[in-house]
Structure 1
Amino acid sequence: MSDKQLIRGTMILTASIFLTKMLGLIYIFPFQALVGPTGLALYGYGYTPYTVLLSLATLGVPLAVSKFVSKYNALGDYRTGQRLLKSGLIVMTVTGFIAFLLLFFLANPIANHILDPNDLKGNSIADAVFTIRMVSVALIIVPFMAIIRGYFQGHQSMGPTAISQVVEQIIRIIFILVLAYFILEVFDGRMATAVGFATFGAFVGALGGLAVLLFYWKKRAPSLQKQIDESTIDHQIPLRKMYKELFAYALPISFVGLAIPLYQTVDLMTFVPAMRELGFTQDVAEKYYGTFSQASHKLILIPVSVATAMSLTILPTVTNAFINNETDRLQRTITQTYQIILFLSIPSAVGLMVLSEPVYAALYPGTPNDLAVGSEILRVYAPVAIAFSIFAVTGALLQGINQQKYAVLGLVLGIVFKFVFNGIFISLFAATGAVLATAIGYLLAISVNVWAIGKFAEFNYSYVLKRFMLILIFSVIMGAVVAFLNYGFQQLFPLETWLNALLVLLITVGSGAAVYFNLSIRSGVAGQILGDRFTILKNKK
């Protein structure tokens, strides 16, 4: 495969991941307007355990299958990859069905743990059970798709995966919004019914994604079969040995990918009960939970998605440089990856902190109380976006240098801390205690990752630390300007209407971006990090 094809494939997949994540972030705004914070909490009751079981059912299969198939294709053995696909489809169907049964029958215990059957306010246990069981159906089909995507990627064909992911997300979002609107606004149905059917959108979207993959399979089957027929080598690897190698690739990838879902699972099981112990009624506790786990969480994932998507094009170079013992190229790539993440995530987090009120008022219109709760949580939660970004990238870097066990170790330490202290912190600091437990857990994990990269890649952090300090200074200056403008414009346009909030947000965000990039360009930092091939980023003295 040529470098040009590799770059093209990487960019296609990166673009699809970014588009899919952005669509997943944006739809929550109109959905929250329809179902409210309590509806978002109910939605989270279904999707959080679904995400965990989906990760366990697929076990990082797409990337692992991609590596496996690519390895044996390079050796001229196309039959081994085909055997993996045939047996893998059966295995994934079985694991998907087992995951579906687990979530379906665990729905009642999960709902009873989260909710108080004696509290008639907020969501009922029956509503939570219905929602969890509706989303569980998607587990039957999604793992099956994962192995087909991995097989295509192993053949260096990124288009089927990219297009199927985007189609799956678009169909899911259309189904969620249209069905919720008709149930609530046209048929005057219950909010819980709308949320339950909305989670069923995961299954409907998966059908659309599978249809795309089957279309590509039919289209490319002749050429794939020709490769197999012309294959001169067949390693005749026993299935047991084949899956042992596959899981050696997949397990670390799967576990690191479970980071956010595992943290959210701890919150799912402890947040509402801990808030009730503080004296909050169930409906108020659920409002805080929905705001924290869905609305605010989706917002802070915006800078995480941007930073991670931009750095993905650099990460494949790490593996290549490490394997070929190209020390200088490895150091440059790690440095560049860190710089991109910090350059994008730090100012985004500072902006979300300073503008938490207009951001929440513009994107999640609601009552003054909803605004107060949402902006408070978002202000505290925003800096965690930096930790999410750094953990994702350092975990990928460790995979690139074959030290992924340290990413797993860091994740375990962080999750254990979150599990032990989440309830304690909530009892001390209410809803913001859950944010604090997440932040410290991620900092522990990042500390392990950063240490391991320094040790095994022999990476010197002195330059990155200097760049971090400079970016932080620029972000603080930007934050001060934005805070001043935010205060002034709120005197002219109080956040009492959606239009006022949007106007304040557009002016302050635009001004903040102008200040940050002006400082970055004049100092030469933007050109050094993003590449001075862009004329506008060149330092003009």
Structure 2
Amino acid sequence: MSQKNDSEKMLRGSWLLTVGAVSTQIMGMLYIIPFYSIMGGEENLALYGYAYTPYAIMLSFAIAGLPGAVSKFIAKYNALGMYKTSQKLYLSSFIVSFGLGIISFIILFFMAPILADIQTLYAGDAIWSTEDITRVIRVISFAIIIIPLFATWRGVFQGFESFGPTTASLVLEQLVRIIFLLAGTYIVIEVINGSIRTANEVAVFAAFIGGFAALFTLMFFWFKRKPHIDKMVASDDTGETLSYRVMYKEIISYSVPIILMGISISTLMLIDQLTHNNALEMANVPEKYHHEWFTILNLTTHKLVMIPTAFASAFGVSSIPFITKNYFLKQLDSVNVHIKTTLLSTLIFTIPAALGLLILSAPIYTAFYEYNEFGNLVLLVYAPVAILFALFTVTCSIMQGINKQWYTMVYIVIMFAVKLLINIPLIMQFYTVGAVLGTMISLAVGITLNLLTIKYFSKFKSRTLLRPLTEMVVYSIVMVLVVEVIYFLLNRHLDITGTMDAIIMLVATIPIAVVVYIVLIFKTGLADAVLGETAQKIRRKLRVL
């Protein structure tokens, strides 16, 4: 019964986080449409992209893996009934995370000129100078002061198996950030006739404003949940507690690999950022294409590709407390159930979403931005990488859950080495598409190593995944074939280069694709096999499945 209850709790938590993650991803995708229009195209957006990747990497160091480590620590000691130890940890973690935010802000602020210099090494007559990039990086660095604090707070809630506060704070943070970003850039460019650089500075400062929205949301939930947590602490009759030295030694053992996991995708993007334009220069690609193609790679297509991975982050984060608890209680059967549920629950949605993105890459890119033949091509190649991003994220979370995070750290370093080794040759050969291929190969290496380690230490029976995965692929292909027929017929009457025609194509194809796939997985019982009681609840509500 406990195993079943844990599975239901994990799925419920996963769905809560999925709602938050998917909502924020959709908002993050939709705001690009007016933002792109306000800013005036890929080249003007390049400055925004140049600032965001170094910021994302420094933010991962500032957070220091604390949310995941705190979540895992609290889940472990709560399972042992040591609630006072959990309380001692989370109270001190707030101070530590705020201190790390201050230190990381100072580092990024003063390193900004160096980072800008590296990115403009072969810039030639590029429109964005070292000074421009430096200013924008310094503006966004202010957000690092507060984000580690509320990120750690989310980890505390998750350690207590409470996922609603994370969902609410994610949505409000993104909503406030986008409103400030769009309103601010519109006022700068359209009302006061300011510069594109100033508009970019306002856009990145929105991260700081959104952070405050998240902080106040979590504070609200904290006062609501604190009486329940206090009761748990009062029930601790173990008579045991750990010293700060012992606690933080354990936290560091958890957090260092989490830091690497947190910066992994951003580092892959940074490798592209530091090599893309330089490799194009070596391949004698005209300077006028460098900024545009870089923005297509690291911003416009990346925003779209990351949408399916929202499922992975949700299921990965929610699985850690449950896998950790059962692993430390040496209940490997329960661990394997959670591993299987986590992998399949992620892929049942990520696979069709990625294939749909692939088949509809041209109208999607046109609808969200404008027709760009090269952008369509990059998105076409990039779309399947969404599955690899998802698998990498979720397998790293599972490795954290079974306490093999140090193996993950080694594997991530290997992955970076592979990317560094092959990126420039691939870009010189295939231009921007080469960078996508480099990411694809390096992720595949990391995922393979993670899966082999999970199988070895948890005694996981990978053959149990074969049938449901085969069904997912088959039903996704059926969905794609149906969409392809409709897309082919529409393409005879509509112009793919027109924004409205592209939107009509998406409105006509996406709902049909969703219905076809949902009907297939529910009528065949795949949804029940993967989602359990959650599938039954969906069936009862919809009444047609």
Q: TM-score, normalised by structure 2?
A: 0.88
8 Å CA contact retained: 2:316, 2:398? no
1:133 to 138, 142, 145: 138
1:190 equivalent in structure 2: 195
User: Is 1:33 aligned with 2:33?
Assistant: no
1:24 to 15, 24, 28: 28
Range moving further from structure 2, 322-331 or 224-233 = 224-233
Q: Which amino acid aligns with 1:480?
A: L
1:480 equivalent in structure 2: 481
SS of structure 2 residue aligned to 1:275:
helix
Once residues 186 and 478 of structure 1 are traced to their aligned partners in structure 2, the CA distance between those partners, rounded to angstroms, is: 46
8 Å CA contact retained: 2:76, 2:325? no
Give the Å deviation of 1:458. Answer: 2.0
Range moving further from structure 2, 214-223 or 517-526 = 214-223
1:166 equivalent in structure 2: 171
Q: Deviations over 1:477-500 (max 9, x none)?
A: 433343333233122011232211
Q: Deviations over 1:406-446 (max 9, x none)?
A: 33232222111111211111011100000000000000011
SS of structure 1 residue aligned to 2:194:
coil
Q: Deviations over 1:55-109 (max 9, x none)?
A: 1111111232233345556666655445444543443333222211221122112
Once residues 517 and 219 of structure 1 are traced to their aligned partners in structure 2, the CA distance between those partners, rounded to angstroms, is: 37
Alpha carbons of 1:305 and 1:86: their partners in 2 closer, same or farther (altered >3 Å)? closer
User: What residue ranges of structure 2 are gaps of 5+ in the alignment?
Assistant: none
Q: Which amino acid aligns with 2:135?
A: F
1:393 equivalent in structure 2: 394
Once residues 118 and 259 of structure 1 are traced to their aligned partners in structure 2, the CA distance between those partners, rounded to angstroms, is: 26
Q: Which amino acid aligns with 2:419?
A: K
1:97 equivalent in structure 2: 102
8 Å CA contact retained: 2:17, 2:318? no
1:273 to 257, 272, 278: 278
1:306 equivalent in structure 2: 311
8 Å CA contact retained: 2:71, 2:157? yes
1:61 equivalent in structure 2: 66
Once residues 156 and 335 of structure 1 are traced to their aligned partners in structure 2, the CA distance between those partners, rounded to angstroms, is: 20
Written as runs of structure 1 = structure 2, the 5 A alignment for 1:220-235 is 235=240
1:468 equivalent in structure 2: 469
Written as runs of structure 1 = structure 2, the 5 A alignment for 1:243-392 is 243-309=248-314, 316-365=321-370, 368=371, 371-392=372-393
2:49 to 17, 38, 44: 44
Give the Å deviation of 1:11. Answer: 4.9
Q: Which amino acid aligns with 1:426?
A: I
Once residues 203 and 473 of structure 1 are traced to their aligned partners in structure 2, the CA distance between those partners, rounded to angstroms, is: 44
Range moving further from structure 2, 528-537 or 235-244 = 528-537
8 Å CA contact retained: 2:120, 2:129? yes
Once residues 82 and 456 of structure 2 are traced to their aligned partners in structure 1, the CA distance between those partners, rounded to angstroms, is: 37
Written as runs of structure 1 = structure 2, the 5 A alignment for 1:143-182 is 143-155=148-160, 157-182=162-187
Once residues 133 and 282 of structure 2 are traced to their aligned partners in structure 1, the CA distance between those partners, rounded to angstroms, is: 20
Alpha carbons of 1:315 and 1:242: their partners in 2 closer, same or farther (altered >3 Å)? closer
Alpha carbons of 1:30 and 1:37: their partners in 2 closer, same or farther (altered >3 Å)? same
Range moving further from structure 2, 220-229 or 41-50 = 220-229
Once residues 154 and 522 of structure 1 are traced to their aligned partners in structure 2, the CA distance between those partners, rounded to angstroms, is: 36
SS of structure 1 residue aligned to 2:309:
helix
Once residues 152 and 26 of structure 2 are traced to their aligned partners in structure 1, the CA distance between those partners, rounded to angstroms, is: 24
Once residues 215 and 228 of structure 2 are traced to their aligned partners in structure 1, the CA distance between those partners, rounded to angstroms, is: 20
Written as runs of structure 1 = structure 2, the 5 A alignment for 1:483-522 is 483-521=484-522
8 Å CA contact retained: 2:72, 2:320? no
Q: Which amino acid aligns with 2:30?
A: I
SS of structure 2 residue aligned to 1:303:
coil
8 Å CA contact retained: 1:46, 1:128? yes
SS of structure 1 residue aligned to 2:496:
coil
- Provide the aligned C-alpha RMSD in A: 3.2
Once residues 227 and 349 of structure 1 are traced to their aligned partners in structure 2, the CA distance between those partners, rounded to angstroms, is: 43
Once residues 448 and 427 of structure 1 are traced to their aligned partners in structure 2, the CA distance between those partners, rounded to angstroms, is: 28
2:460 equivalent in structure 1: 459
Alpha carbons of 1:451 and 1:148: their partners in 2 closer, same or farther (altered >3 Å)? closer
User: What residue ranges of structure 1 are gaps of 5+ in the alignment?
Assistant: none
SS of structure 2 residue aligned to 1:200:
helix
Alpha carbons of 1:141 and 1:282: their partners in 2 closer, same or farther (altered >3 Å)? farther
Give the Å deviation of 1:300. Answer: 1.1
Q: Deviations over 1:228-255 (max 9, x none)?
A: 7887676564432221111122222232
8 Å CA contact retained: 2:311, 2:390? no
Q: Which amino acid aligns with 1:407?
A: T
Alpha carbons of 1:479 and 1:214: their partners in 2 closer, same or farther (altered >3 Å)? closer
Once residues 94 and 518 of structure 1 are traced to their aligned partners in structure 2, the CA distance between those partners, rounded to angstroms, is: 51
Q: Which amino acid aligns with 1:450?
A: L
Give the Å deviation of 1:303. Answer: 1.4
Q: Which amino acid aligns with 1:525?
A: L
Q: TM-score, normalised by structure 1?
A: 0.88
Q: Which amino acid aligns with 1:28?
A: I
SS of structure 2 residue aligned to 1:53:
helix
Once residues 526 and 166 of structure 1 are traced to their aligned partners in structure 2, the CA distance between those partners, rounded to angstroms, is: 27
Range moving further from structure 2, 329-338 or 427-436 = 329-338
Written as runs of structure 1 = structure 2, the 5 A alignment for 1:87-126 is 87-115=92-120, 119-126=124-131
Q: Which amino acid aligns with 1:285?
A: H
8 Å CA contact retained: 1:135, 1:199? yes
1:430 equivalent in structure 2: 431
8 Å CA contact retained: 2:67, 2:155? yes
Range moving further from structure 2, 386-395 or 184-193 = 184-193
Q: Which amino acid aligns with 2:304?
A: L
Once residues 455 and 399 of structure 1 are traced to their aligned partners in structure 2, the CA distance between those partners, rounded to angstroms, is: 15
Q: Deviations over 1:152-195 (max 9, x none)?
A: 44455544444333322221111111101111122222222111
8 Å CA contact retained: 2:76, 2:328? no
Alpha carbons of 1:537 and 1:313: their partners in 2 closer, same or farther (altered >3 Å)? farther
8 Å CA contact retained: 2:254, 2:405? no
Once residues 330 and 225 of structure 1 are traced to their aligned partners in structure 2, the CA distance between those partners, rounded to angstroms, is: 29
8 Å CA contact retained: 2:21, 2:311? no
8 Å CA contact retained: 1:93, 1:143? yes
Q: What percent identity do the matched residue pairs reach? A: 35
8 Å CA contact retained: 2:279, 2:427? yes
